[in-house]
């Protein structure tokens, strides 16, 4: 999205549009949406759908399930506004702009979409707004804690400190975000097992989240940041991610007492992440590995629903009852399903064909 075209008969430069400003806000958080915001929301949703497993409520009825799904949009707003506040604070310093010029030049400040002073003014407006949103949602304590952690990380130089302190602050922040997601999605009180699950996942983040540092090593050196690959060396740092990923792939299913199929699922995705961390060491591969790590966290976060699959069966029954009151799927639906599969296969063949019109790929966020 660009500035509107300038009229050659006027001397006043065109003003940015509302869409331009909205895109600027989006770009502050763009790289964190698929790897942070969506997994965090999934964590809260899975906890809510676990019913009596982690909470004192149940989501097995159509009414409670519908209420849980209705809580997704406000939870996303709550999480995203807090994330936006953190990312603006994190990206507005001179050192951060220099780092992003090397790692993420599309971000608003290195791209010249706004100045450091304008970013500061934006923070002055957003801070009370985000606090007000947290108050309205009944999550003001967690919102304040996120602000404190963000202040320590960004303004007190926690992000520049030794990687253990940096990981510690990041982990505390991640854990609070997970708590916000759970508070936003759960229509009740967490059980002790729910709190233990939150603590376990937070520990997993502490021991594995520096997987994102490999792709940013160049910018971190420019900034003088003491990230894990710089302090430990590339080889040791990679092992310090691979081993915890494999360990967590075993511990997390064991926490819920799941069977071999769940272990196989978490180990399959975790094994890919661990293998890639050790074998592929260029920037592009590290970017892909980081995204696969985020996918792996989604697998872990969905384990409560795997333990309590009745809620998914209940949801399926609700859909079937609404579409087919008689209880049986009519033949027409089978035809539609078969046609849909055929269209997918044929579409895939056409896009893969050398004679196709467009063989390009579509991505949500540019790397």
Quote the CA–CA distance of 306 and 313 in Å, as a whole number.
Answer: 11
Distance CA 52, CA 194 (A): 10
Tens-place pLDDT, residues 114-166? 999 999 999 999 999 999 999 998 899 999 999 999 999 888 887 777 778 88
Q: How many CB atoms lie within 10 A of CB 250?
A: 13
For the record, the structure tokens of 221 come out as 């050196």
pLDDT per residue as tens digits for the range 24-68: 999 999 988 988 999 999 999 998 888 778 877 644 444 467 788
Place of tokens 């909470």: 55
Q: In the prediction, which pLDDT does 312 show?
A: 56
Coil, strand or helix: which one is 308? coil
Q: Tell me how far apart the alpha carbons of residues 362 and 351 are, in angstroms, rounded to a whole number.
A: 12
- Quick: pLDDT tens for 222-270: 667 778 888 888 899 999 999 999 999 999 999 999 888 889 999 999 9
pLDDT of 325 over the 90 cut: no
pLDDT at 5: 46
Q: For residue range 175-203, list pLDDT tens digits in order.
A: 999 999 988 888 667 788 888 999 999 99
d(CA 87, CA 92): 9
∠ Cα 324 325 328 (to 5°): 50
Contact 193/233 with Cβ under 8 angstroms? no
């Amino acid at each position: 999205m660009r500035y509107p075209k300038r009229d050659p008969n006027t001397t006043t430069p065109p003003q940015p549009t509302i869409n331009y400003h909205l895109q600027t806000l989006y770009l502050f958080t763009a790289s964190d949406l698929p790897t942070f915001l969506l997994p965090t929301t999934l964590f809260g949703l899975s906890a809510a759908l676990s019913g009596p497993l982690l909470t004192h409520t149940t989501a097995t009825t159509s009414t409670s399930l519908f209420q849980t799904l209705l809580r997704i949009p406000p939870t996303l707003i709550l999480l995203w506004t807090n994330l936006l506040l953190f990312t603006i604070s994190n990206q507005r310093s001179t050192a951060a702009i220099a780092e992003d010029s090397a790692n993420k030049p599309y971000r608003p400040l290195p791209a010249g979409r706004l100045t450091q002073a304008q970013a500061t003014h934006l923070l002055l407006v957003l801070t009370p707004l985000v606090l007000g949103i947290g108050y309205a949602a009944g999550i003001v304590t967690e919102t304040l804690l996120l602000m404190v952690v963000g202040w320590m990380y960004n303004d007190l130089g926690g992000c520049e400190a030794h990687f253990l302190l940096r990981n510690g602050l990041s982990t505390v922040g991640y854990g609070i975000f997970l708590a916000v997601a759970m508070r936003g999605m759960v229509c009740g009180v967490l059980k002790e097992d729910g709190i233990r699950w939150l603590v376990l996942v937070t520990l997993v983040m502490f021991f594995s989240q520096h997987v994102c540092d490999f792709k940013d090593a160049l910018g971190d050196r420019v900034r003088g940041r003491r990230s894990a690959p710089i302090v430990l060396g590339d080889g040791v740092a990679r092992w310090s991610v691979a081993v915890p990923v494999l360990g967590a792939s075993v511990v997390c299913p064991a926490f819920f007492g799941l069977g071999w199929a769940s272990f196989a699922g978490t180990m399959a995705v975790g094994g890919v992440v661990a293998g890639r961390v050790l074998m592929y060491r260029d920037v592009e591969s590290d970017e892909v590995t980081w995204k696969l790590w985020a996918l792996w966290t989604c697998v872990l976060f969905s384990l409560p629903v795997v333990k309590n699959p009745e809620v998914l069966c209940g949801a399926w029954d609700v859909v079937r009852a609404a579409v087919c009151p008689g209880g049986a799927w009519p033949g027409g639906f089978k035809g539609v399903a078969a046609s849909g599969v055929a269209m997918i296969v044929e579409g895939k063949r056409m896009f893969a064909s050398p004679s196709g019109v467009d063989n390009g790929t579509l991505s949500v966020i540019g790397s």
